[in-house]
Structure 1
Amino acid sequence: MTDAAKRELIYESPLASPADIADFRLEGQAAFTFPLGRLRMENLGDPKEGQKSNFVLWCPVEFPADISVEWDFWPIREPGLCILFFAAAGREGQDLFDPALAPRTGEYDLYHHGDINAFHVSYFRRRYPEERAFHTCNLRKSYGFHMVAQGADPIPPVADAAGPYRIRLDKLDGRVTFSVNGLTVFDWRDDGESFGPLLRGGKIGFRQMAPLMAEYANLRVYKLKK
């Protein structure tokens, strides 16, 4: 983790009630409840519909290039998969919600081969048998579908999970670090050439694949500075 960097809190939400996500943007279909005072998310679409059954929930805030994102996570029901999008913006620098960009409705290819650039880290990957057999967290950079980093996922299956799991994502000067409960999963540096130019500021968003159910709380975003 980039612990040597100074962190300045610039956004926080407990994700404890409907009011906490009132201005968030949903792409796709999902149900949000708060039975334990934290955000529980589950898909409304039929998993048999494939990518059409998945969704992304975007925080509306435009964040700077160098940030640290933290949240608490509890897996409730498998199978499925979780993703955090970050540094998400139009490919020409537009705001993510610019109406000139093609509509996005949760299908995966709209996010890696559509009108936007973004990083995304997939974690708690339990959708397919090969993912359940060997648990990893994957970092991809888009536009495109570039796998740039991978590490072992320390979160156990639902049957053995005892959250919360504190997840942290740091992005500073092209360096991207991901950790769970203080354990570094991967630490990768973007050279700004191999997979396209460095990505700057943008939005963050949470994605789930059906039929996963999971809970989130205590979202905090910090500005990083050396």
Structure 2
Amino acid sequence: MDWNEIFLLEELLYQNPLSDEKDVRDFKMEGQAAVSFPRNRLRMENKLDPKLGQKSNFVYWCPIEFPDNIAITWDFWPIHEPGLCILFFAAKGIRGEDLFDSGLSVRSGVYDQYHHGDIDAFHVSYFRRKEEEERSFHTCNLRKSYGFHLVSQGGDPIPSVADAKGPYRMKLFKWGCDILFTINDLTVWHWIDDGKTFGKPLTGGKIGFRQMAPLIAEYANLTVYSLSKKQSL
């Protein structure tokens, strides 16, 4: 189903072109990564040797605390594979703390810290080209944490780097427990959380971009809108 049949974009809450250093001066890096803007868009790549495994991965957080009922959109270009990308959203401490609360454990990009640490979050993984099975059958996954709950999955329409043109317009819609993900307006999956099977409902919180080494990717035109749902549905 087309997202336009379900949701309405309302107020623009946040807009960031991600075109130069000043646009990300307040972003917070967990792990080690090189951030540059060779094409007037945010490029990220690992600094540490991929042979270090999880230690070579990283997360780059937008500092803004967003409310619930939002649409997140961004442009994406894959530059070098293998690797994969993740968007974290609705991220908070497990007791509702701000994600950057000093009482929370230090995070350094190692994946376990994000799904079995002291935070709650949703994470959508896309452009998954890391393991052999991910390269041979491309999917986009939605997981809910605390825990490592795979709650929804759909085909990834983005081709491998050799054939990728870009930009690919990514859109993530969250209306309470109703979550929908699209790429170039093609619905990848639509999932409704019952708030019980995989833990409590997650509301509000921060968003962040994660990459697995040695992937290189570029991002631009990050926007967040308040969202409403059409009453006719």
Q: TM-score range by the shorter chain?
A: over 0.9
Give runs of aligned pairs for residues 117-156 of structure 1, distance below 5 A: 117-156=120-159
State the shift of 1:112 in Å.
Answer: 0.2
Secondary structure in 2 matching 1:222:
strand
Q: Deviations over 1:44-82 (max 9, x none)?
A: 011000000000000000001111000000000000000
Q: Identify which of 18, 25, 29 aligns with 1:15.
A: 18
The one-letter code sitting in structure 2 at the alignment partner of 1:112 is H
The 2-side partners of 1:31 and 1:133 are apart by: 29
Corresponding residue for 1:63? Answer: 66
The one-letter code sitting in structure 1 at the alignment partner of 2:58 is F
Is 1:86 equivalent to 2:89 in the alignment?
Answer: yes
Give runs of aligned pairs for residues 27-176 of structure 1, distance below 5 A: 27-176=30-179
Secondary structure in 1 matching 2:12:
strand
The 2-side partners of 1:159 and 1:72 are apart by: 18
Secondary structure in 1 matching 2:52:
helix
The 2-side partners of 1:95 and 1:196 are apart by: 19
Q: Deviations over 1:165-214 (max 9, x none)?
A: 00000000201100000000000000111111110110000000000000
State the shift of 1:2 in Å.
Answer: 4.1
Corresponding residue for 1:222? Answer: 225
The one-letter code sitting in structure 2 at the alignment partner of 1:20 is D
Structure 2 residues without counterparts, runs of 5 or longer: none
The one-letter code sitting in structure 2 at the alignment partner of 1:81 is L
Task: Give TM-score scaled by structure 2 length.
Answer: 0.96
The 2-side partners of 1:45 and 1:222 are apart by: 35
State the shift of 1:5 in Å.
Answer: 2.7
Secondary structure in 1 matching 2:60:
strand
The one-letter code sitting in structure 1 at the alignment partner of 2:116 is H
Is 1:205 equivalent to 2:202 in the alignment?
Answer: no
Contact in 1 for aligned 2:58/2:108 (Cα 8 Å):
yes
Percentage of pairs with the same residue: 65
The 1-side partners of 2:199 and 2:37 are apart by: 40
The 2-side partners of 1:49 and 1:79 are apart by: 15
Task: Give TM-score scaled by structure 1 length.
Answer: 0.98
The 2-side partners of 1:2 and 1:172 are apart by: 12
Moved >6 Å (runs of 4+): none
Secondary structure in 2 matching 1:19:
helix
Contact in 1 for aligned 2:9/2:225 (Cα 8 Å):
no
State the shift of 1:162 in Å.
Answer: 0.4
Q: Which stretch of structure 1 is more off in the superposition, 4-13 or 101-110? A: 4-13
